[in-house]
Structure 1
Amino acid sequence: MAPSRASGSAGRTDPGKVRPRNEDAFLDGAAQGLWVVADGLGGHQSGDIASRLIVNQLAALKPEPDVELRSEAVRRCLHWLNRRLTEELTLACDRRGGVIGSTVVALLVEEGKGICIWAGDSRCYLWRDHALYQLSKDHSLRQQRLSTQAQAPGSGDRQSGDHALTRAVGAQSRLTLEVLTFEVRPGDVFLLCSDGLYQSVDNRQLSAALALGSARRAVDWLFDCALAGTAMDNLTAVVVRR
């Protein structure tokens, strides 16, 4: 069965107002039923190489007959890329002990079924019945702390080092991906985005954008909001409407 096309999708990326280089990349693969956002690791060299490699390799995957097989192909590709980034590219760039890595969040949709695959803190949101849900859970020290500690008053406040990632493609020799399978309903709207985007807008703005009725309008409205602020990081968003 060929992938069922979404009723519309659109993507956009921007370096923001501070960073000299855009280390984000995205795939708007409506024909494949595959959408991806990758965010090169900040503070490391060649994050743009990692994010673009991820997007290009996933875009080149051969068609599979159903969403489960496509999900397996995406995961195999990401594990292969993790080995390449942690071994071959690091040595080739003469950065022994260094890191060339990227977050990744991928969405696969077939009629009635969706699969989200991710590592890192790029996110997948679902807007359904006028409510916003975060489908992915950040792989970061902050999220780890919030998930494992008893919540005393003020314990949810950000702390030094909270931005550090616990998972990413290329960050460690062994990659652990998180996978979520869920029902897709008519009218669902999905947002994939890098942390630079969701840290520049609030949930009210996210919901307002996804309610606009057009993937392109939603993306452009989110960028208008983000770029009206400080936009200190690269910005990337992909919106998918069913």
Structure 2
Amino acid sequence: MRDFTYQYGSLSDAGDVRSENQDAILCCTGEKNIQNQQNDAAFFLVADGMGGLSYGSQVSAYCTDQFAAWWHEDFSQMIQAGRDSDTDIKELLEQEIWDINTQIYQFKEREGCRCGSTLSALLLYNGKYYIENLGDSRIYRFRKNNLEQLTKDQSLAAQLVREKRLTPEEAEDFPQKNVLTMCIGMFQIPQSGFEMGELKNGDMFLLCSDGFYGCVEEADVKEILRRYNRQNDKGNGILQFAVEKLRSLIPEGGARDNVSLILTEVRKG
């Protein structure tokens, strides 16, 4: 049973100002075998590291390395064992987040340093999407010409907007708008946001760090996604081109932070 296939394009760069890229991305696709049936699956992750010296890049790379191992080992073994219910998948994702957070938190306490990372993860499997999010990297879904943010920013500004103590317009100029209320390594107990839902043919998902979405207008992003939606008959290449078009929305010299993008499209198998 191969209901859906997944194609993607991705990029990550230091931006136009910073000398080091502390973001890390992960893209995994492949078949997972359950009860002698083949299911295509995909996993994508954006991690935006933070911290002095090279700690930010080390933490974000650790997140992607650990989830790469999770994809090839833990997730594969769970599927082969027939444990692929929504509850099983949510628990497995959150256990990995817990394990990564524990290692980063202990490293931070031991070294007396400031470090952490956002983490936005998207799993596509068996006709559904599963999202785990910590921090303010984002995941959007583009469906039927509608662009919807599926994650909730875990930042002080976003929290004040949700509490109606700031308007969205006031949040744009809020002096502490980049202060996070949660990320990998911040607290001993990570509190991630979880979302899941049904996939539909032609769905596109965009994962990005704040270095991208903070510099562009959603209307411009939506127009590029509309232009390339369900036109990737030549494989991943057209989506890679779409990602590069998205990156070009940032004016030359305007990327003051690291920029990371992953764009994936769901197609009937």
TM-score (norm 2): 0.81
Provide closer, same or farther for how the CA distance between residues 90 and 132 of structure 1 changes in structure 2, counting only shifts above 3 A: same
Asked if structure 1 preserves the Cα contact closer than 8 Å seen for 2:16 and 2:253, the reply is: no
What's the secondary structure of 2:100's corresponding residue? helix
Provide closer, same or farther for how the CA distance between residues 232 and 15 of structure 1 changes in structure 2, counting only shifts above 3 A: same
What's the secondary structure of 1:225's corresponding residue? coil
Asked if structure 2 preserves the Cα contact closer than 8 Å seen for 1:58 and 1:74, the reply is: no
- 2:158 match: 143
Identity %: 29
The range that moved more, 148-157 or 62-71, is 148-157
- 1:133 match: 148
The range that moved more, 159-168 or 3-12, is 3-12
Provide closer, same or farther for how the CA distance between residues 151 and 55 of structure 1 changes in structure 2, counting only shifts above 3 A: closer
Q: Which amino acid aligns with 1:22?
A: N
4+ residue runs over 4 A deviation: 42-45, 150-157
TM-score (norm 1): 0.89
Query: RMSD across aligned C-alpha pairs, in angstroms?
Result: 2.2
Task: Tell me whether 1:210 sits opposite 2:225 in the alignment.
Answer: yes
What's the secondary structure of 1:163's corresponding residue? coil
Q: Which amino acid aligns with 2:215?
A: S
Q: Distance in 2 between matches of 1:118 and 1:153?
A: 21
Q: Distance in 2 between matches of 1:16 and 1:156?
A: 24
Residue deviations 1:120-179, cap 9 Å, x none?
000000000011000001000100110113567964442111110000001112211110
The range that moved more, 8-17 or 41-50, is 41-50
Asked if structure 2 preserves the Cα contact closer than 8 Å seen for 1:99 and 1:170, the reply is: no
Task: Tell me whether 1:83 sits opposite 2:109 in the alignment.
Answer: no
- 2:23 match: 24
Quick check: which one's strand share is greater?
2
CA drift at 1:90: 4.5
- Aligned counterpart in structure 2 of residue 100 of structure 1, from 88, 102, 115: 115
Provide closer, same or farther for how the CA distance between residues 4 and 43 of structure 1 changes in structure 2, counting only shifts above 3 A: farther
What's the secondary structure of 1:41's corresponding residue? strand
- 1:57 match: 66
- 1:159 match: 174
CA drift at 1:6: 3.2
Between structure 1 and structure 2, the one with the greater Rg is 2
- 1:232 match: 256
- 2:7 match: 8
- 1:115 match: 130
Q: Distance in 2 between matches of 1:153 and 1:166?
A: 17
Residue deviations 1:39-74, cap 9 Å, x none?
002667511011010011001112131373344322
Asked if structure 2 preserves the Cα contact closer than 8 Å seen for 1:67 and 1:110, the reply is: no
Q: Paired residues, what number? A: 237
Asked if structure 2 preserves the Cα contact closer than 8 Å seen for 1:6 and 1:240, the reply is: no
Task: Tell me whether 1:178 sits opposite 2:197 in the alignment.
Answer: no
Q: Distance in 1 between matches of 2:251 and 2:67?
A: 29
Asked if structure 1 preserves the Cα contact closer than 8 Å seen for 2:138 and 2:149, the reply is: yes
Residue deviations 1:79-117, cap 9 Å, x none?
1111111113542xx3x2x32210000001124211110
Task: Tell me whether 1:35 sits opposite 2:44 in the alignment.
Answer: yes
